[in-house]
Amino acid sequence: MLEVKSLRKVYSGGGREVEALRDLTFTVDNGDLVCLVGPSGCGKTTLLRCISGLLTPTSGDVRVGGKPVTGPPPGMAVVFQEYGRSLFPWMSVRDNVELPLKQKGVDRGRRRELVEGALDAVGLDGTATAYPWQLSGGMQQRVAIARAVAYEPETLLMDEPFAAVDAQTRADLEDLVRALWQRLKVTVLFVTHDIDEAVYLGRRVVMLSSSPTVVQDELVVDLPAERDQLHTRADPRFIELRTRVYEQIQLAKKAAQR
């Protein structure tokens, strides 16, 4: 389980203090898919950096499997928004996906199996020898997802991973994430500012307020597990849920303007 408890982060420097996160508490059960949604600048990236051990919180704590996070937790993989910056352009697709496995000490035969399995799972078999710059943006993001999947993570953090791709590719990648989640039984925390995406993907949605951030509300997405872009998004229950999330985000923005 992933537990975030009374998390607070204040940035200080240059004689200035910014309270990015005020008091965040929520949990993500093993095998769950939780979407975090909040207005721009509400501290989503700060939160993910605290969860992945890249940033030390001012107070409060993050636990993964009961253990406090003090550095990058083993068994956690992160997919960032900017695939262009997260892939090494001088390495082939295969080498990019394989790199964390080498660092993990996985033997050569198993590495090959994992890389092929992951590229196949994201629909990229046959591209192993290509370089990232020879691929479209959507394909590059698939490589980043394959790299995370090959690592066999228990927890997958995704930081607005589809913000930079076109709408059609985005829809395909959303379906890919749901399919991988169902198949791999991995715990997913998916950060997005897109309300429809949060409701479409999530089994739960946690809504954040504007910065200094607290949890504004959360809901269980009681839509059928089998989702598809056409029917799920037209389902009256989907519309009800997205309206509720939208209202909460508007409230959060208004509260911040007061």
Ligand X SMILES: Nc1ncnc2c1ncn2[C@@H]1O[C@H](COP(=O)(O)OP(=O)(O)OP(=O)(O)O)[C@@H](O)[C@H]1O
Task: Indicate the residue among 164 and 223 with the shorter CB distance to ligand X.
Answer: 164
Q: Are the C-beta atoms of residues 34 and 186 closer than 8 Å to each other? A: no
Task: Indicate the residue among 193 and 203 with the shorter CB distance to ligand X.
Answer: 193
Residue 242 tokens read as 């997205």
Task: Indicate the residue among 41 and 100 with the shorter CB distance to ligand X.
Answer: 41
Q: Are the C-beta atoms of residues 139 and 83 closer than 8 Å to each other? A: no
Task: Indicate the residue among 172 and 194 with the shorter CB distance to ligand X.
Answer: 194
> Residues in the site for ligand X, rule: CB under 6 A?
11, 18, 20, 40-46, 193, 211
Tell me the closest approach of the beta carbon of residue 50 to ligand X, in angstroms: 10
d(CA 78, CA 9): 20
State which amino acid sits at residue 36: L
Task: Indicate the residue among 24 and 188 with the shorter CB distance to ligand X.
Answer: 24
- Torsions phi, psi for 87 (to 5 deg): -100, 145
Tell me the closest approach of the beta carbon of residue 52 to ligand X, in angstroms: 13
Task: Indicate the residue among 44 and 94 with the shorter CB distance to ligand X.
Answer: 44
Tell me the closest approach of the beta carbon of residue 255 to ligand X, in angstroms: 15
State which amino acid sits at residue 258: R
Q: Are the C-beta atoms of residues 215 and 207 closer than 8 Å to each other? A: yes
Tell me the closest approach of the beta carbon of residue 9 to ligand X, in angstroms: 8
d(CA 235, CA 233): 6
Q: Are the C-beta atoms of residues 28 and 1 closer than 8 Å to each other? A: yes
- Torsions phi, psi for 168 (to 5 deg): -70, -45
Residue 194 φ/ψ region, left for φ over 0, alpha for ψ in the -120 to 50 degree band, beta for the rest: beta
Tell me the closest approach of the beta carbon of residue 44 to ligand X, in angstroms: 4
Bridge partners, residue 24, by sequence: 7
Tell me the closest approach of the beta carbon of residue 72 to ligand X, in angstroms: 18
Tell me the closest approach of the beta carbon of residue 205 to ligand X, in angstroms: 16
Task: Indicate the residue among 140 and 211 with the shorter CB distance to ligand X.
Answer: 211
Polymer length of the chain: 258
